[in-house]
């Protein structure tokens, strides 16, 4: 009887540079490909991520000749059933490090299902980069230096002449979720990821160090959704970077993703809890009408509203603008960062719990930055600096398209700024900045975050 291995797709929806898949193929005569759909998680993900996942799975299924099994249920129950029905001799997968993935692996170990784990979705797996005393890094810059010194493997080759099991038709229930009407999600799938990377290498990568902060131009790669779903591995990107200034900055951004994953690995409670615990004691306002205005892009601050509308239209937001809107929610509206992180999670097709939660905490001032809370983004000046011609604002806030570059960032200062129904500012930034700093004085900031929870 032919030996059958099983490859469990998780957040690695690709064939190339997938060492765990190669191990599965080498371990048997033929390999069953499986994706397990957790309906409860999918429901929480929101329409945007569900639509992207459905498109990605469809592309993956096409690339394997229609031989992808997609089964809904708990990980343990599905694997037990599939192993028995298909006569599986070994199970293979890449490790995950977010809380949900860690819990799934613990469940399998508890019920006695042995999985051979190879690799992860990171160039350097969380927990590998450590200080000389073997403790983890809590600040990015020394982590980055150690991460570079640690290094990573070259990309693995794509499988040659793979032998995939043809699954039972009843095990091929691919999701049919589609994008909501009017939503413009970028193309999903491994081929789209590789095409985007090649196009960016020949175009925007050479000016990434400067262009990455300008939301009105295609200055970033927009590879984050592909990295989140594992349609491309960071090794594939790192292997082709040189030492030019722009490409070093690009490498550092990949390292930020890996740093946040490492932080979450050591402090798993920070997916929803505070990295610096004293900030939990700060006075925050409950979400209300102002939070609703922020969610819908109607705060009266053009760069903030443009960002929130981009999020709701595309399931993605420019990184510079993510920081601006996050600062506005926490520092101007005094609402806890978790509300913003949860809202982002609902819409972002690149939502990654480590990057999302720790990106929010960095901006909110309770994260890994050494002197964070005093940084309060001025939304008007940020717009003038990074969208000087108002290109980004005009695209997403058409009510202001009639204004000149000098007027569009402060429509309240010109006579016809509100002519097309754009709202007046819901708060006075200067006053709220002072209020934010006053609330900081009410608490004692911890110098060392959770020293007793280095798990």
Q: What does the pLDDT profile of the chain (455 residues) look like in tens digits? A: 679 999 999 999 999 999 999 999 999 999 999 999 998 888 888 899 999 999 999 999 999 999 999 999 999 999 999 999 999 999 999 999 999 999 999 999 999 999 999 999 999 999 999 999 999 999 999 999 999 999 999 999 999 999 999 999 999 999 999 988 889 899 999 999 999 999 999 999 999 999 999 999 999 999 999 999 999 999 999 999 999 999 999 999 999 999 999 999 999 999 999 999 999 999 999 999 999 999 999 999 999 999 999 999 999 999 999 999 999 999 999 999 999 999 999 999 999 999 999 999 999 999 997 666 678 999 999 999 999 999 999 999 999 999 999 999 999 999 999 999 999 999 999 999 999 999 999 986 544 554 433 32
Read off φ and ψ for residue 91, nearest 5 degrees: -115, 135
| CA-to-CA dists, residue 199 to 219, 357, 394, 401, angstroms | 12, 30, 26, 30
Contact 422, 293 (CB under 8 A): no
Distance CA 133, CA 210 (A): 37
Contact 250, 220 (CB under 8 A): no
CATH topology for 4-120 is: Rossmann fold (3.40.50)
What local confidence, expressed as pLDDT, does residue 1 receive?
Answer: 65
- For residue 443, the model assigns a pLDDT of 87
- Which letter does DSSP use for residue 281 in this model? G
Domains 4-120 and 277-441 share a fold: no
| Residue 439 contacts residue 313 (beta carbons within 8 Å) | no
The secondary element (H helix, E strand) that includes residue 4 is strand 4-9
Span 122-155+190-266 CATH architecture: Alpha Horseshoe (1.25)
Domain ranges for the chain, please list them: 4-120, 122-155+190-266, 277-441
The DSSP code sequence of 240-273 is: T--SSHHHHHHHHHHHHHHHHHHHHHH-GGGGTS
Question: Using CA atoms, how far apart are residues 360 and 26, in angstroms rounded to an integer?
Answer: 42
User: Spelled out in words, what is the top-level CATH class assigned to the domain 277-441?
Assistant: mainly alpha
For the record, the structure tokens of 19 come out as 């060492």
Query: What pLDDT, on a 0 to 100 scale, did the predictor assign at position 445?
Result: 55
What is the model's pTM?
A: 0.94
CB–CB of 257/359 below 8 Å? no
What are the CA-CA distances from residue 7 to residues 27, 155, 187, 235 (Å)?
11, 19, 25, 21
Q: What is residue 43's predicted lDDT score, i.e. its pLDDT?
A: 83
Buried b or exposed e, range 446-455, using 16+ CB within 10 angstroms = eeebbeeeee
Please state the φ and ψ torsions of residue 335, each to the nearest 5 degrees.
-105, 140
What pLDDT score was predicted for residue 315?
97
- Give SS3 for 132: coil
């Amino acid at each position: 009887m032919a030996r059958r291995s099983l490859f469990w797709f998780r957040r690695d929806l690709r064939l190339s540079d997938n060492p765990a898949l190669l191990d599965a193929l080498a371990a048997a005569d033929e390999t069953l490909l499986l994706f397990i759909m957790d309906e409860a998680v999918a429901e929480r993900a929101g329409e945007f991520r569900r639509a992207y996942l459905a498109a990605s799975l469809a592309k993956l299924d096409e690339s394997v000749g229609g031989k992808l099994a997609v089964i809904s249920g708990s990980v343990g129950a599905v694997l037990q059933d599939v192993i028995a029905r298909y006569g599986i001799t070994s199970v293979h997968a890449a490790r995950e490090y977010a809380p949900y993935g860690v819990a799934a692996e613990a469940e399998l170990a508890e019920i006695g299902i042995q999985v051979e784990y190879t690799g992860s979705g990171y160039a350097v797996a969380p927990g590998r980069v450590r200080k000389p005393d073997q403790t983890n890094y809590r600040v990015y810059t020394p982590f980055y230096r150690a991460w570079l010194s640690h290094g990573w493997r070259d990309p693995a080759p794509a499988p040659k002449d793979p032998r995939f099991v043809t699954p039972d038709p009843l095990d091929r229930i691919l999701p049919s979720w589609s994008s909501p009407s009017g939503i413009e999600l970028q193309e999903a799938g491994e081929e789209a990821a590789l095409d985007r990377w090649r196009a960016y290498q020949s175009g925007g990568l050479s000016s990434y160090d400067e262009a990455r902060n300008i939301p009105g131009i295609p200055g970033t790669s927009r590879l984050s959704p592909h990295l989140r779903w594992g349609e491309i591995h960071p090794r594939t990107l790192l292997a082709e970077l040189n030492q030019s200034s722009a490409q070093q900055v690009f490498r550092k951004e990949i390292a930020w993703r890996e740093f946040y994953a490492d932080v979450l690995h050591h402090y798993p409670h920070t997916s929803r809890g505070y990295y610096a615990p004293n900030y939990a004691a700060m006075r925050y306002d409950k979400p209300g009408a102002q939070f609703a205005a922020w969610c819908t892009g109607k705060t009266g601050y053009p760069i903030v509203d443009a960002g929130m509308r981009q999020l709701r239209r595309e399931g993605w937001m420019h990184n510079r603008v993510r920081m601006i809107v996050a600062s506005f929610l926490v520092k101007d509206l005094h609402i806890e960062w978790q509300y913003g992180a949860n809202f982002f999670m609902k819409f972002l097709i690149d939502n990654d719990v480590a990057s999302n939660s720790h990106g929010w905490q960095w901006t909110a001032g309770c994260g890994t930055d050494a002197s964070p809370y005093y940084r309060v983004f001025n939304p008007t000046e940020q717009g003038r600096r990074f969208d000087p011609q108002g290109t980004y604002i005009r695209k997403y806030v058409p009510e202001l398209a009639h204004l000149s570059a000098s007027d569009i960032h402060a429509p309240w200062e010109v006579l016809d700024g509100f002519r097309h129904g754009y709202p007046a500012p819901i708060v006075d930034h200067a006053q709220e900045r002072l209020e934010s700093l006053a609330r900081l004085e009410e608490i004692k900031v911890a110098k060392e975050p959770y020293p007793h929870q280095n798990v």
